[in-house]
Amino acid sequence: MKTGLIGFGKTGKAVASVLLQSQETKLQWVVRRSHSLEHRSVPEFLGIESKEPGLIYSKDEYTAADLIRRMPVDVIIDFSSEDGLEYYGQAAADEGIAVVSAISAYHQDKIELLQRLSEKTRVLWSPNITIGINFLIIAAKILKKIAPYTDIEVIEEHFKAKPEISGTAKKIAQALTLEEENIKVVRAGGIIGVHEILFGFPYQTVRLRHESISREAFGNGVLFAARHLLDKPNGLYTMEDLLTPYFQLDATLPERRLDTA
């Protein structure tokens, strides 16, 4: 699976590092807005041994169509900003290249663009592309169906400088139809990111807790997304769509299970 990366900020670098170290993907190129680091090799820059090309280009040097012609890819991964889509979107759709976008928020016109592109290729958009968080959201929705009488609270902890309420906590609250007052925001020191969904039963408590260790977690989410997207028909997907099939359980007859227990 050949990949191209749009964006090379802190998270872009962390994702590039995971891609380079994975056997599953070959990082062909990185495109960024800035001219700094132009034509540098990503493996060399990050100090990772790898024979993957991974050269850095400014978006002014080639159009996406030209770049893809010179160095074809199967998936384009976007950790840039809302505008990144303008650069590569049409070219990806024309060539049937899958798109994995981790942009936090798109305006309505960009969402419509994503939808048009998704008629011609597979597009995944997920603002928080970690497996852990997306798993937690689905699991929490299920537990709420099972026990609708529980009280649900969300506790999110981040470093002091992070402005109020993480996007992920808001997404959790939305998925569970909670009010914003059910999100408890802790800001202290250098905490990278903790999200806990607490279910209060009358006589027991269930906590679904996710702790981020580093930005590289997004890289593993990208690998999961890219791998699963390639099998799918054209369309616009979320991480939840890719995780959902794992929640379909066997309906083995109970008797058989007890026999072998």
**Within 143-182, which residues bind a copy of itself (CB under 8 A)?**
143, 145-147, 150-153, 155, 157, 159-160
Q: Does the footprint of a copy of itself cover residue 254 (CB under 8 A)?
A: yes
Contacts of 78 (CB under 8 A, 6+ apart): 6, 7, 84, 85, 88, 99, 100, 101, 102, 103
What would the DSSP string read from start to end of 70-91? HS--SEEEE-S-TTHHHHHHHH
| Among positions 49, 213, 231, 260, the unique one binding a copy of itself when judged by CB under 8 A | 213
Q: Does the footprint of a copy of itself cover residue 104 (CB under 8 A)?
A: no
Q: Count residues contacting a copy of itself (CB under 8 A)?
A: 74
Contact predicate 19/222, CB 8 Å = yes
| CB of 241 vs a copy of itself, minimal distance in Å | 5
Nearer to a copy of itself, 68 or 243 (CB): 243
Dihedral sign for Cα 86, 91, 94, 99, please: negative
Q: Which of residues 216-245 bind a copy of itself (CB under 8 A)?
A: 216-217, 219-220, 224, 235-238, 241, 243-244
| Among positions 131, 162, 165, 170, the unique one binding a copy of itself when judged by CB under 8 A | 131
What mask, x for binding a copy of itself by CB under 8 A, covers residues 54 to 93?
A: ----------------------------------------
Nearer to a copy of itself, 65 or 147 (CB): 147
Count CB atoms within 10 A of the CB of residue 194: 15
Q: Does the footprint of a copy of itself cover residue 8 (CB under 8 A)?
A: no
Count CB atoms within 10 A of the CB of residue 255: 7
Q: What are phi and psi of 30, to 5 degrees?
A: -125, 135
CA 193 to chain centre: 15
